[in-house]
Structure 1
Amino acid sequence: MRRPVVVLVLIVLALTACTVPQQRDDDAMDKLAAESGEVTAVFERYRAVRNTAVRLLDAKPLSTVEVGPVLDIDTGSFEVAERLSTAQAEDDAPIDVREVVTPRFSAYPLWFMAVVRDEEREVNRVQVFERDGAAAPWLLVSTPETVLDAELPELRERDGGVLRVDPEESTGMAMSAQAAADAYAAVLEDPQAQEAALLEEDGFIDQMRATAAQNADLAGVTYEQQWSSQTVRHVLRTADGGALAFIDLERSDTYEVEDGVTVTWPEDSPQQAFIPQGISTTGTLLHHHQVLVHLPGGDAKPRAIGQYGGVIGAEGF
């Protein structure tokens, strides 16, 4: 007799923004990353290319203005939009750049931070653009989002530029930015990890744990979530002696499904777009998360204040 198939439909939790500051550094600095006119040109080019990608519903043009995890996340979202036929009919809203801060550098790569307001989506994008050489283009490398009323920590300035911090530097703080990134990966993978005592439990951690708990409760499914941190490269000193760090995390969700059970997702979800047939044996969804973390000065624990992430691929099908 053929066994009945049980279909499990997962409810997708929206990724909401949280908030966080960053760290410091005393490098010898002799050149601002970018002057105001150059920053204006960077954003004009970025918006033109992104609007072209939106109109074409094709992420390929984005590779000329984005790189790394942010490109992976946006490529994944465009792939979802294409599969679900949710193309935008018009260009994105005009870019509302609220603040730009530029460190000083003595060598490439150069980078600067900008806060961009998106009233339609009700978020601020805290973006980092980087340039690898004099002939290289400026590329978006990080864009975590915060709620509109979130206030970033005040940054420390010297000689007309904001101060950078070595990602491995922990002077004046409970830990370095790299240690914080590694701690987030450890705690998100295992809530009982010893690193849990080092971090402030914030909205990002709560949200990721809620997603993991929901999936772990599925009947007939063995679920495993794994996290890893990437090398931290962008950290700024805050006025309180702490730091504002941009960290990148990788996440994989693996489902082992018993015979007769199929895991599916709602039709308008990224997961369903990547795995329209659902999972009836074993499969893994891959994610990237860009997290903005505040490491306060003194002994206070790091806390996430913003994030941007999404599904970037699937394996095992």
Structure 2
Amino acid sequence: MLAPLVLPPLLLSSACGQSSSNAQSDAGPALSKTEAAQVLELYKVTADRASRRLDAKSLAAVETGPQLAMDTATFKLHRAAEHRVAGRGAGNASFGKPTFYIPRINGHPRWFAADVTAGTGKDTLRHAFVFTQAKPSDPWLLAADPHPSGAALTKIALDEEGYATTVRPSERELALQPARLPATHAALLSGGPKAPGAAGLAPGPQTTQAYDGLRRTQDRLMPGGITLSSHFTPEPGPVYALRTTDGGALVWYVVRQNEAYSSSKQGKLAVTGDLVGLAPPSAVKTHLDTVVLVQYLAAVPREGKARVTGMYRKAISAAGS
């Protein structure tokens, strides 16, 4: 396994944490573009090797937080279904030319984003990576990877030297504070667009349509004797936000979904699809509980509603009884 990449600390202020956008304008970049390219290359090599071996311990050298939990669950799925995917791992990534969005940040933790395309043809997938470094001596780790739609990343504002600007999670000049996005999105998915605390998100595939789709799934299962309950909550952890050219922000955040399937008769429930590898099929009799993490990317304007522009969803645990 390759050693984690630890870049030498830049000559920045020793102040810790994320300060305001104005204060950050005098800070140095989190790292250089050359160093960012090295971080991405090491990630690609290490993650691909871990994927070929379905080795989550190796993956932990280059990933952290929800990202590591979600990709570890993917490895379990591939390991359990290996005979059905011809031994194919979860990676073999070939990245196209990346675009880096490196903010000016005082102290640690530091982070940067990367717009990366992997694969070719119909298998092409776009990534909105976020890499973080907790302390100067720590490796850079992949913390987020929602798959963006449209050109949201190209709207990130850059200064004269080509660097981005962070946005405070508590910024009140936006239509919705970045720190409130996880709770707002969770409220909408749990109770619909009119639920308390759900205002501020625009209708779309990952908001109102996702809520309606879940309700239809519940209705479809009921005639077969299966009851599904689902509840969404904000996932603890940092929210990442960069200033956009319209004065708004592009925000990365995570929501947790807890699902419970119940049936009065055995044989109605099964471990299938995204749940394969997370629970022994024999353990599921009349009840199945699952935990799903969903990473989102949202564009928040100064006025109007925030629009969700990307996501990555994966079940990370399941338990039957």
TM-score with structure 2 setting the length: 0.83
Match of residue 223 from structure 1: 228
Match 1:167 to one of 166, 169, 183:
169
Matches within 5 A, 1:26-65: 26-28=22-24, 29-65=26-62
The question of whether the paired residues in 1 share the 8 Å contact of 2:190 and 2:211 is answered with no
Match of residue 240 from structure 1: 246
Distance in 2 (alpha carbons) for counterparts of 1:316 and 1:260: 12
What is the CA-CA distance between 1:90 and the residue it aligns to? 9.8
One-letter amino acid of the structure 2 residue matched with residue 280 of structure 1: K
Counterpart of 1:184 in 2: which secondary structure? helix
What is the CA-CA distance between 1:195 and the residue it aligns to? 3.4
What is the CA deviation profile of residues 187-208 of structure 1, one whole-angstrom value per residue up to 9, with x for unaligned ones? Answer: 1111141334421011112235
Match of residue 93 from structure 2: 93
The percentage of counterpart residues that share the same residue type is 25
The question of whether the paired residues in 2 share the 8 Å contact of 1:170 and 1:177 is answered with no
The question of whether the paired residues in 1 share the 8 Å contact of 2:44 and 2:93 is answered with no
What is the CA-CA distance between 1:261 and the residue it aligns to? 5.3
Alignment coverage as a number of residue pairs:
289
Q: Name the CA shift for 1:106/1:125 in 2 (closer, same or farther; >3 Å).
A: same
Q: State the 4+ residue runs in structure 1 displaced beyond 4 angstroms.
A: none
5+ residue gaps, structure 1, are 1-23
Match of residue 21 from structure 2: 25
The question of whether the paired residues in 2 share the 8 Å contact of 1:156 and 1:238 is answered with yes
Q: Name the CA shift for 1:126/1:222 in 2 (closer, same or farther; >3 Å).
A: same
Distance in 2 (alpha carbons) for counterparts of 1:90 and 1:102: 28
One-letter amino acid of the structure 2 residue matched with residue 214 of structure 1: T
Distance in 1 (alpha carbons) for counterparts of 2:312 and 2:138: 26
Match of residue 207 from structure 1: 210
Is residue 196 of structure 2 the alignment partner of residue 194 of structure 1?
yes
What is the CA-CA distance between 1:312 and the residue it aligns to? 0.5
Distance in 1 (alpha carbons) for counterparts of 2:90 and 2:242: 36
Larger relative contact order (Cα-Cα within 8 Å, sequence gap ≥ 6): 1
What is the CA-CA distance between 1:216 and the residue it aligns to? 4.4
Distance in 2 (alpha carbons) for counterparts of 1:210 and 1:57: 32
Greater Cα offset, 222-231 or 256-265: 256-265
The question of whether the paired residues in 2 share the 8 Å contact of 1:233 and 1:246 is answered with yes
Distance in 2 (alpha carbons) for counterparts of 1:270 and 1:260: 21
What is the CA-CA distance between 1:271 and the residue it aligns to? 1.9
Match 1:282 to one of 275, 281, 287:
287
Give the strand-richer structure, 1 or 2: 1
What is the CA-CA distance between 1:135 and the residue it aligns to? 0.9
What is the CA-CA distance between 1:91 and the residue it aligns to? 6.3
Distance in 2 (alpha carbons) for counterparts of 1:295 and 1:90: 32
Distance in 2 (alpha carbons) for counterparts of 1:132 and 1:272: 33
Match 2:260 to one of 254, 275, 281:
254
Q: Name the CA shift for 1:100/1:176 in 2 (closer, same or farther; >3 Å).
A: same
The question of whether the paired residues in 1 share the 8 Å contact of 2:30 and 2:105 is answered with yes
Distance in 2 (alpha carbons) for counterparts of 1:40 and 1:312: 30
What is the CA deviation profile of residues 252-289 of structure 1, one whole-angstrom value per residue up to 9, with x for unaligned ones? Answer: 111122135522255xx222433434743222111111
One-letter amino acid of the structure 1 residue matched with residue 69 of structure 2: D
Q: Name the CA shift for 1:44/1:153 in 2 (closer, same or farther; >3 Å).
A: closer
Greater Cα offset, 217-226 or 24-33: 24-33
One-letter amino acid of the structure 2 residue matched with residue 223 of structure 1: L
Distance in 2 (alpha carbons) for counterparts of 1:114 and 1:162: 12
Q: Name the CA shift for 1:260/1:50 in 2 (closer, same or farther; >3 Å).
A: closer
Match of residue 297 from structure 2: 292
